[in-house]
Amino acid sequence: MKKLIGGLVMCLCLISLVNVVSGKWVTEGWDFDVQTVNFPKNVTKGDTLPLNVSIYNSGGKIGTVCIVMGIKKPDRNRIYPLNTKIYDIPVNQAKTATLHWQVTEPPGEYFIDVDIYEPKACTEGAANPHMFDTTGFVYPLEIKESCETISCPDKCIGNTRHYNGAFENGECKYQTQTCPYKCENGYCVENTPKPITPPQFNSKAMDCSRNNPGALVVQITNIINNPDIEGQIILTIPDNIEVYNTVGSYSGKAVYTVTYNVPAGEGKYIEIQFDSNIAGEYRIPATLYWHWKGDDEMHQMGIDKTMTICPVKECGGEYCLNDEECIENECREKNEGDKNGDGKGWPDPLFIIAIALIIVIAVILLKSKRGYRGIILPSTILKNMEIRAEGVFRPHQKDVEVVYALSGTGRRMNRIHQFASKRVISTANSGKVDVNVENMIEHIKKEIGYMPKLLVIMHTHPEGVPYPGPHDKFFFRSTAQKIKQDCQKTEVFYGIHAISGGSVRKRTDYKKINENTIKWSSVTHDHEVAFYDRESKPMEVNIDR
């Protein structure tokens, strides 16, 4: 009996020991974040690079992690040369480790990535380790040659030529020359004569008629072999007048602006229609601004026209000087036909039934989606996002991060906003973009006349993943706070648009791969878009085809 009891005790001990040895490293309640990453941003080939990483325990239990250092080369290939463990990080505290990398790669621009994995990732051959956090390849590193092999080529800084450079005391020192016109590729360039044939401008006023409520027409003709023309027409409008049905116009305070572009050898016909609360004659002064593309010198000419402008009325699709004139034409014939019982003007019964069915279906759909707090993306918006992200392709250069925005009413996105302005985007490179939030808000208000109820601020990760790094998380929180100060009714979310590739491939359709991520491929790039709230938590997204 004693032997039997002893055997049972020994078996229990062995079972307990097996459970301890084979227990999972990833313990429930573990969570870790990359807090800081520090290292010299410039090193020389042959040096040792110290990489200092601070890891914060944001979970509920003390834990151990594996830190992996990743490097993206100029040819976009990636290597992961070093890893180390940080043991027993207390809850709500951080610990720091230093990895020492012997720099053997050739000179060029590199990017550093830091990943946090469960401890087994530091063991060679470990399969599918769990990742807690990643910075992405967002930290730039420049590897230089030793001083003996560094050259100092001629260059331009503004209109100043820097030439005959020599490397001294860790930097290139140059002789300088101020160019009288401009500097290009390290040489002073002589002034080239501007086109001698100016463009032709004609303008006229169109009074209200049956087919037009009143308009200002401008004809611009650009001569062959000229550069393209870019410009604006700025109109000062009187009270009771608004610009109506005109492409490329946007409003400000008491003015309307219409932008235009005229390629060489082509003409541009611009018809600016107006709408008035009260029919009558109105004087419309305007200034036409233009410049040759690539030349900052601005030219202008004045336009001053008086025209009869009518209210836009729903009366047979025509425009009327007053209600009586409308009644005497299409509207009266329509009403008399209804009174005679000939069926004119009354909708077809099948049409009424179809409208009723549409209303019922809309109510059912609305009830089914009540309480939905995610984002709905139509396929047309996804296509525009693809075009915007691929529009930054630069041959033989690194792609830079791009910021754009989506807006809509309810949860459905119906507009994309592009920010091609230095007032909004101050700097951008392949790992970071700086945004002026106040100017971005002003841009959106000028574009659509108000702040939307729902705004999604997007930025790209070229050759990256749609996962927020430390800089992204700070950007989410800070911009949300600024927007709420000025626009309390606007709800703000964020999106990361990862794009990679550049070679021809088979196009794939939009596919939701998890709660907050949509993935697809164009014929040249792979796209993966993920959405988050201000606290970097995933935000649900759905596709509306």
Q: Write out pLDDT tens, residues 367-404.
A: 454 455 789 999 989 998 998 888 776 666 777 888 99
Lowest-confidence pick of 115-119, 426-430, 462-466? 426-430
Q: Return the higher-pLDDT residue of 264 and 32.
A: 32
Q: Which of left, alpha, beta for 41 (phi over 0: left; psi -120 to 50: alpha)? A: alpha
pLDDT category at 167 given cuts 50, 70, 90 is confident
Alpha carbon distance 160, 181 (integer Å): 10
Q: What percent of the chain has pLDDT over 70?
A: 79
Is residue 1 predicted with pLDDT exceeding 50?
no
Q: How far is CA 409 from CA 220, 417, 455, 491, 516, in A?
A: 38, 15, 9, 10, 19
Alpha carbon distance 194, 190 (integer Å): 12
Query: What are the extents of the domains in the chain?
Result: 32-145, 151-189, 200-309, 375-544
Alpha carbon distance 126, 119 (integer Å): 10
What size, in residues, is the chain?
Answer: 545
Local structure of residue 215 (DSSP, 8 states): E
Is residue 470 predicted with pLDDT exceeding 50?
yes
Concatenate the DSSP letters of all residues of 311-337 into one string: ----BTTB--SSHHHHIIIIIHHHHHH
Mean pLDDT of 190-212: 77
On the question of a common fold for 200-309 and 375-544, the answer reads: no
Mean confidence (pLDDT) of the chain: 80
Q: Contact 253/442 with Cβ under 8 angstroms? A: no
- Which residues, 6+ apart, have CB-to-CB distance to 462 below 8 Å? 392, 398, 399, 400, 401, 430, 499, 500
Which amino acid is residue 119, in one-letter code?
P
Q: Contact 386/498 with Cβ under 8 angstroms? A: no
Phi/psi at 438 (nearest 5 deg)? Answer: -60, -45
Q: How far is CA 512 from CA 172, 434, 500, in A?
A: 51, 29, 18
State residue 422's pLDDT score. 79
Alpha carbon distance 543, 228 (integer Å): 40
Is residue 37 predicted with pLDDT exceeding 80?
yes
User: Among all chains, which residue has been given the structure tokens 């020994």?
Assistant: 10
State residue 20's pLDDT score. 33
Which amino acid is residue 67, in one-letter code?
I
Phi/psi at 10 (nearest 5 deg)? Answer: -65, -40
- Spell out the CATH class of 375-544: alpha beta
Mean pLDDT of 248-269: 71
User: Among all chains, which residue has been given the structure tokens 């830079």?
Assistant: 400
State residue 363's pLDDT score. 57
User: 446, 437, 447: which is closest to 494 by C-alpha?
Assistant: 437
State residue 323's pLDDT score. 45
Give first-to-last CA distance, the chain, whole Å.
74
State residue 12's pLDDT score. 40
State residue 365's pLDDT score. 60
Alpha carbon distance 313, 200 (integer Å): 36
pLDDT category at 330 given cuts 50, 70, 90 is very low
Is residue 301 predicted with pLDDT exceeding 60?
yes
Alpha carbon distance 267, 325 (integer Å): 37
289-293-294 Cα angle (round to 5): 120
State residue 341's pLDDT score. 44
Per residue in 202-235, pLDDT (tens digit) is 888 888 876 677 888 888 888 877 888 888 888 8
Fold of 200-309: Immunoglobulin-like (2.60.40)
Count of other CB atoms within 10 angstroms of residue 358: 10
State residue 16's pLDDT score. 38
Alpha carbon distance 234, 337 (integer Å): 46
The CATH homologous superfamily for domain 32-145 is: Immunoglobulins (2.60.40.10)
Alpha carbon distance 2, 380 (integer Å): 79
How many helices (H) and strands (E) in the chain?
7, 34
